[in-house]
Structure 1
Amino acid sequence: MRPENALAASMFYDDREARKYTSNSHMMQIQSEMAERALELLALPEDESSFLLDIGCGSGLAGEILTEREHIWVGLDISQPMLNVAKERDVEGALILGDMGNGLPFRPGSFDGAISVSALQWLCYAEEKRQNPVKRLHRFFLSLYACLSRGSRAALQFYPDHPSQVELIMQQAMIAGFTGGVVVDYPESTRAKKIYLVLFTGGSCRLPVALTNECPQQNRVHYAKRSEIAQRNQSKKPLKKSKEWIMKKKVHARRLGK
């Protein structure tokens, strides 16, 4: 059974599930690779630090990828146990407890881009009788469009249960003002197939090219490069409570309007 059919996200990811999720090395690898791909789809300027939003950040696995690339990020998640694990793991991003279906609580134009891994599909399910998936998707995309700077992108990886969910999600994103579409990596593979919703805020743009089994070498090089970046950046990471660390935290707060 899919998690979305079992319990509400806030209930499914309890303390036990949150720790299980973060201790599964195979799951962590897949999540990290999808976060890396989502970041790639944002097409951010090279060698520049951007201010990014991680929607459904969980225990901060995707956020670690953003930190490795020297981006500043904010993570939002509906599960307090997941955020507790993220804090224990000492992730660099600012963490916020919130339900994306109620709208994103950020100032207009705050972020240079947004990513999400394995979270968007939860909005297609009514966790309570009073919830309406269409309205929740509408609130989410309206608020996402508002909090992104013009010309920026969002790359949202998700697991639709059936094609009608993809159509519903696309429809609500377009109503909110986005352009873009769906990028399907490895469409011929049952296990490797991954679906990303790539959205643009600055008018119509060409969708990124999907990955296929015809270019596996390119992917191996791409992901191997990540470890080199991580090792290089680890030596530059400011010590906690140092002057540089405090200044970075102040930058976080200013961008959030605090």
Structure 2
Amino acid sequence: MPETPDHPIAQRAYEELAAGYDREGDTKPSNAYLERPATLSLLPETEGKRVLDAGCGAGHLADELADRGATVVGLDASREMLAYARGRVPDADFLRADLEGELPFADNAFDGVTSSLAFHYVKEWASLFRELRRVLTPGGWIVCSVQHPHADFEEYDDAENYHELELVSATWDAFGSEVDVPAYRRPLSAMLSPALEAGFRLDRLLEPTPTEAYREANPERYEYEATRPNFLCFRLVAPS
């Protein structure tokens, strides 16, 4: 599929997955009891802050931000995901756009940016982090989660060279049907260097482990997640 604003690499997959994400996002263990609690733990105070949720999906993280008093703007490439997000968080603003290109916002428009498992669908992180810095106020922050680089290399069958940026794909069946989901995998250095080169400071880095609620929901998978990396979360701070 061409990589254009109308066709980001995983857009077709997420149009098919949207209903399942909307239905199960609050209880699917890897999201609800592993990645999302870790991401939320890195958030600074959001009361009264304007926050961009970049790659908002069906709006589960945006809902948490709104509950914490943030003014939320959600952005996603999937029309189906955005429809569910608007229903979940009616007081937030949502728009369709691709993280691969120029963001449709003025300079210094946001106090913070969140992103839950979306950046690994973006090929060029250098331009992504330059754009995120542009739309952030001085001292603004990014809190995001991505697939762990070690897990990506070990678990994607078509991964060949850990040290290179690679387009990979996996078949997901967690939502009742099989969907091929492409992504970009890259080494840890290629995750952090673009942010540092854009002027951000790495403030926190977290390799999350599953919560007790995960153990209760899926004891067998809990044992796997408790001993192997799956996600990587970090907080970045822009210059003041």
User: What range describes the TM-score normalised by the shorter chain of this pair?
Assistant: 0.5 to 0.7
Give yes or no for the alignment of 1:177 onto 2:178.
Answer: no
| Contact 1:54 1:114 (C-alpha < 8 Å) held by counterparts | yes
1:244-255 maps to which residues of 2 (within 5 A)? Answer: none
1:105-184 maps to which residues of 2 (within 5 A)? Answer: 105-123=104-122, 133=123, 136-159=124-147, 160=149, 161-162=152-153, 164=163, 165=186, 166-180=188-202, 182-184=205-207
Aligned to 1:94: 93
1:1-258 maps to which residues of 2 (within 5 A)? Answer: 8-14=9-15, 16-24=16-24, 25-27=26-28, 30-31=31-32, 34-44=35-45, 48-123=47-122, 133=123, 136-159=124-147, 160=149, 161-162=152-153, 164=163, 165=186, 166-180=188-202, 182-186=205-209, 189-190=226-227, 194-202=231-239
Identity %: 27
Provide, for residues 19-56 of structure 1, a one-character-per-residue CA deviation record: whole Å limited to 9, x for no partner: 012112532882486445434313226xx321101011
Provide, for residues 161-202 of structure 1, a one-character-per-residue CA deviation record: whole Å limited to 9, x for no partner: 246422112111111111106322339834675311221113
* Cα-Cα RMSD: 2.6
Residues matched between the structures, number: 183
| Contact 2:63 2:88 (C-alpha < 8 Å) held by counterparts | no
Distance 1:29 1:17, change over 3 A: same
Letter in 1 for 2:237: F
Provide, for residues 38-86 of structure 1, a one-character-per-residue CA deviation record: whole Å limited to 9, x for no partner: 34313226xx321101011011111110111121110011111111122
Aligned to 2:168: none
| Contact 2:34 2:209 (C-alpha < 8 Å) held by counterparts | no
| Contact 1:59 1:84 (C-alpha < 8 Å) held by counterparts | yes
Distance 1:36 1:69, change over 3 A: farther
Q: Structure 1 residue 147: deviation in Å? A: 0.8
Distance in 1 of aligned mates of 2:130 and 2:201? 13
Q: Structure 1 residue 9: deviation in Å? A: 1.4
Structure number with larger C-alpha Rg: 1
**SS at structure 2 position matched to 1:198:** strand
Alignment gaps of 5+ in structure 2: 1-7, 154-161, 164-185, 211-224
Give the structure, 1 or 2, with the largest relative contact order (CA under 8 Å, sep 6 or more): 2
Distance in 2 of aligned mates of 1:90 and 1:54? 12
Distance in 2 of aligned mates of 1:80 and 1:28? 25
Higher helix share: 1
Distance 1:194 1:186, change over 3 A: same
**SS at structure 2 position matched to 1:26:** coil
Distance 1:90 1:67, change over 3 A: closer
Aligned to 1:130: none
Higher strand share: 2
Letter in 2 for 1:198: R
| Contact 2:63 2:89 (C-alpha < 8 Å) held by counterparts | no
Distance 1:196 1:38, change over 3 A: same
**Normalized against structure 2, the TM-score is what?**
0.67
